[in-house]
Amino acid sequence: MSAAAAQRGPRTRVAIAGFGTVGRSVARLLQEVAQPELQLVAILNRGVERKRVDWLDGSVRWTENIEDLLTDDVDVIVELIGGRTPAEEWIRRALRAGKSVVTANKQVIAHAGPELLEEAARSNRHVRFEAAVAGGVPVVRAIEHGLAGDRLTRVAGILNGTCNYILSRMERGRVPFWEALAEAQALGLAEADPSQDIEGFDAQAKLAILAHIALGAHVPAHAIQAKRIDVIDAVDFLYAQQMGCTIRQVAWAERTTDPHVLAAAVGPALVPLDSPLARVRGSENLVTLRGQYGGETTFGGLGAGGDPTAVAVMSDLLAIAREGVPSSCRAGAARADVSADFTSAFYVRFTVADRPGIIASLATVFARHAINIDAILQEPGFPEGRRPFVVSLDPAPASAIDRAIQEMSQCDFHGEPPVVLPVLSSATVGAGA
């Protein structure tokens, strides 16, 4: 409970900044699921008059002005306006004004999280962001508390429900990428401009936050390699299945032997059909944490949507109301470099104008880079000028694969650029026994 609340009585007074889908759900939960510790006192939105609803207590103030939330009777500001500007500055000002902050803003936390946590620690206030990572899945809390006794070594997950919807739709319906995307847009699961999701920037920001709180590594989100998922074709699911796999947008980060270097990447990858990641359907999220002592622990649920996100916000609000001193367990994250040069098996799909000698020349290049071919898969029934075939490669450093593919790009038989996907083993992403 904040000092201000303690003086005046037992309730923590909450203001919501941003009255969109999530903001309305938070207000409704504050009203419907009676939490004696919490009281909604103010709502901020642009053009607030058209936002006003009649189901909220008449004592709630409606405002367009952030200054109205920095007043004495507000203990916590829930920031749900999204984007970096002006949200980041508002959060900073709120902390300096002695308010705690709950936010669902992954961009702000991925970019300025460590700094805002320090600011909060200085003023003995909270910054909490459960909703910023995996929507309604309480993974921040689990890392902070439930697994606090372990030493976490890796985090892997499906952090973007839009990509997961698209890829699992392609898997099940054997439909092309753009058709699955259009469906996701029609269902409201993808934005009109889906680039944040498809290019991996959304998952990148969430992974940076997870790396910070789970692995103690402070890395700028943009330093994490992100690969786009729209290179994936329906045929890739066919080949993946032959390899006992499916394809998911996976975000993962792992400690390396160098304490200053984190291995991390976001992008489409083959995952074993019996792994937890393969079983995530539709717009669900899943996070798998590996601990030195506790083994693999998984957390799954709805990664987006007003109500699930609001549940995460509520858990942060209750933590602030119930717990005195902000937990210090996330302090002391060390700035780390990011490497995407992990060693993995790889799947490479070539699409070629068929003619003799192609495989021989590819095999020669792979051999030159000390990369072993595990198998070559070719399905019949494709037109002669654009035949897709797949080379699966034994584990090798990603940098060696990149160099080999780069060298092959000189060849004139490519109908499309090769599609290169890591094959994440059960050891990497977890799997049933």
Which residues carry out catalysis?
A: 206
Q: Of 329 and 370, which has the nearer Cβ to a second copy?
A: 329
Among 85, 153, 327, 361, binds a second copy (CB under 8 A): 327
Dist. CA 364–CA 34, nearest whole Å: 69
**Residues forming a β-bridge with 373:** 393
Looking at 313, 345, 348, 420, which residue binds a second copy (CB under 8 A)? Answer: 313
Closest CB 75 distance from a second copy, rounded Å: 16
In the bound state with a second copy, the residue whose beta carbon lies nearer, of 317 and 336, is: 317
Nearer to a second copy, 138 or 388 (CB): 138
Site string (145-164) toward a second copy, x via CB under 8 A: xxxxxxx-------------
Round to whole Å and give the CA distance between 198 and 305: 18
Taking CB atoms within 8 Å and a gap of at least 24, the contacts of 362-370 are: 362/391, 362/408, 365/404, 365/407, 365/408, 366/391, 366/393, 366/404, 368/404, 368/407, 369/396, 369/400, 369/401, 369/403, 369/404, 369/407, 370/396, 370/400
CA 66 – CA 241 distance, rounded (Å): 53
Give the nearer residue to a second copy in terms of CB position, either 292 or 409. 292
Residue 357 C-alpha from the chain's centroid: 42
Which position has the token pair 């402070």?
218
Listed ranges 60-68, 173-181, 289-297, 349-357: which one lies at the site for a second copy (CB under 8 A): 289-297
Give how many residues touch a second copy by CB under 8 A.
58
Does 311 participate in binding a second copy (rule CB under 8 A)? yes
Residues 20-59 that bind a second copy (CB under 8 A): 25, 29, 33, 35
**CA-closest candidate to residue 206, choices 270, 240, 163, 150:** 163
Q: Does 82 bind a second copy (CB under 8 A)?
A: no
> Using the rule CB under 8 A, which residue among 319, 348, 398, 420 binds a second copy?
319
Give the Cα separation of 351 and 133 in Å (integer). Answer: 37
Alpha-carbon distance of 188 to 192, in angstroms, equals 9
Nearer to a second copy, 283 or 428 (CB): 283
Among 20, 294, 395, 397, binds a second copy (CB under 8 A): 294
Length of the chain: 433
User: 168 or 249, CB closer to a second copy?
Assistant: 168
Q: Answer yes or no whether residue 176 interacts with a second copy by CB under 8 A.
A: no
User: Could you tell me which residues come within 8 angstroms of residue 134 by beta carbon, excluding any fewer than 6 positions away?
Assistant: 157, 159, 206, 285, 287, 299, 301, 303
**CA 140 and chain centroid, separation:** 12
CB 161, min distance to a second copy, A:
10
- Residue type, position 399, single letter: S
307 contributes a contact to a second copy by CB under 8 A:
yes
Residue 75 binds to a second copy (criterion: CB under 8 A): no
Stretch that binds a second copy, among 59-67, 131-139, 222-230, 413-421 (CB under 8 A): 131-139
Q: How far is the CB of 167 from a second copy (least distance, A)?
A: 13
**Residue 431 Cβ, how far from a second copy at the closest point, in Å?**
8
Q: Which of residues 226-285 bind a second copy (CB under 8 A)?
A: 274, 276, 279-284
Helix (H) or strand (E) holding 61: strand 61-63
Distance of alpha carbon 201 from alpha carbon 197, whole angstroms: 6
Residues that bind a second copy (CB under 8 A): 25, 29, 33, 35, 130, 136-138, 141-142, 145-151, 168, 274, 276, 279-284, 291-302, 305, 307-308, 310-315, 317-319, 322-325, 327, 329, 432-433
